[in-house]
Amino acid sequence: MTSTDVGILGIGAGPANLALAVALEELAPELAADTLLVEQSENTVWQRGLLIPWAQSQVSFLKDLATLRNPRSRFTFVNYLHETGRLDDFMSLGTFTPYRSEISDYLRWVAGSLERVRVQYSRRAVRIEPVRDASGALAHWQVGFSDGSTVRARHLVVAGGRDPRIPQPFRGLPAERVIHSSEYSVRIADLPRDVPQRIAVIGGAQSAVEMVQAVQEALPTCSPVLVVRGIGLTPYVSSKFTGRFYSAAASEEFFGMTAQGRDLVLGEMARSNYSGVTPELLDSLYHQMYRDRLDGKEGLRVLTATEVVAAAEDEDGVLLTLRDRGTGAESELRCDRVLLGTGYDPAMPAVVRDLAERLGLPGGPEVTRSYRVRTAEDDGDHARLYLQGVNEATHGIADSLLSTMAVRAADIVGDLVSAAGE
């Protein structure tokens, strides 16, 4: 059992905390040298669950971990392409949106290029305790890991992402029957390719349609059915005018809005990030279904305006009870596996709720403009807690995306520097 002391501990080594690490190395090298990132997986992989070879990012490569904060940074995506000998080839693609696998490789490259911030893998935090001094002020954090080791940190940055959303009807099914999109790529590889599988995919957004396309490649003999609550699959709704809400400046504007103003913006912008599909993927899916009909094959079925009201396992797999939202009529659908493209729970993740309870914040965490949680004894506290990627309600629609990570990292570093001077 080992114990380590650090100034800053980051939970998670995904893009949010890697952007923070880059900003620390460039803006506050002394703090960077006293920073540790811990990741429960064995490596850094972006969108591990949907790392499909043909899938592309939906965000410009310029919205990397550094460019919008420091275009001259050696950690930009363009420099990554240069260092790996692919800059000319990427330019010839004529696109702003790299393959998802390439973004993932870029993140690994960044993690391996850090000179001061340490990154440790296969370390799963199982207990986070706020520690107060004799006066009651928050003094530091004590974090315990699954291997029995501990880390004591003055400041804590949590960037573990949101919890997968598992709709109520599926919560009683055995784990081996249900695959959420967050774990699709890993778990689908364990299924035999030559055994026919009845597959039900639930959802009408990008992740569900990506799984429909991908599972037919991974399991060529499967029979997929896509169940969609809406009346049909629709593209993302956005424009060059609404795109400004995915900028760092929009975070500042959004934070200053009233509750009613924030609700208005999030409501109007929802279809630009949720419940939509890229036009290219919609076209591909429709062409596939058309060719199947042309060739006389049953192929993929899409059930629209349909919701799952019950799910149960029996001797013949999983029995789903469906309800037609137009007529109210119920029907049954049998399958062997359920793939959930149902997104993520909009509530604060369980680890953050637990921290809020331990800090004595019954109303949940309240974050400042610089993403710091206002702790119960904020005026006298010496330790700080920052949240990344879970502040959409206060910082806007782009909070969980790559779009603002570079600039957000600078905001957090600025706040950490102010703490160092106290």
Yes or no: domain 3-163+345-420 corresponds to CATH 3.50.50.60: yes
d(CA 139, CA 385): 11
Do strands 138-145 and 150-158 pair parallel, antiparallel, or not at all (unpaired)? Answer: antiparallel
* Rounded mean pLDDT, 301-320: 96
Q: Are strands 150-158 and 3-11 parallel, antiparallel or unpaired?
A: parallel
Q: Is it the case that residue 379 has pLDDT exceeding 90?
A: no
Looking at residue 419, its pLDDT comes to 80
Query: Taking Cα atoms as reference points, which of 163, 152, 154, 151 lies closest to residue 124?
Result: 151
Q: Does 3-163+345-420 match 168-235+274-340 in CATH topology?
A: yes
Report how far apart, in Å, the C-alpha atoms of 235 and of each of 58, 200, 301 are. Answer: 13, 22, 19
Can you give the pLDDT at residue 1?
62
Residue 421 has pLDDT above 70, yes or no: no
- Average of per-residue pLDDT across 317-339: 97
Express each pLDDT in 138-181 by its tens digit: 999 999 999 999 999 999 999 988 999 999 999 999 999 999 99
Which residue has 């920052």 as its token pair? 386
- Which pLDDT belongs to residue 400? 92
Residue 185 pLDDT:
93
Position 381 scores a pLDDT of 82
Sign of CA dihedral 408, 411, 417, 422: negative
Return the pLDDT at 299: 85
Among residues 10, 23, 14, the alpha carbon closest in space to that of 67 is found at 23
In terms of average pLDDT, the best of 45-49, 243-247, 263-267 is 263-267
Mean pLDDT (the chain, rounded) = 94
Mean pLDDT confidence for 315-325: 96
- Residues 179-203 have pLDDT tens digits of 999 999 999 999 999 899 999 999 9
pLDDT at 82 over 70: yes
Question: What residue segments make up the domains of the chain, in order of their start?
Answer: 3-163+345-420, 168-235+274-340
- Reported pTM: 0.94
* Biggest CA-to-CA distance, the chain: 77
Q: What is the pLDDT of residue 413?
A: 97
Residue 422 predicted with pLDDT over 80: no
pLDDT tens, residue by residue, 218-235: 999 998 999 999 999 999
Mean pLDDT of 279-288: 94
CA atoms of 70 and 312, how far apart (whole Å): 53
Query: In DSSP terms, which residues pair with 337 in a beta bridge?
Result: 199
Tokens of 226: 């896509």
Domain formed by 168-235+274-340, architecture: 3-Layer(bba) Sandwich (3.50)
Percentage, residues of the chain above pLDDT 90:
86
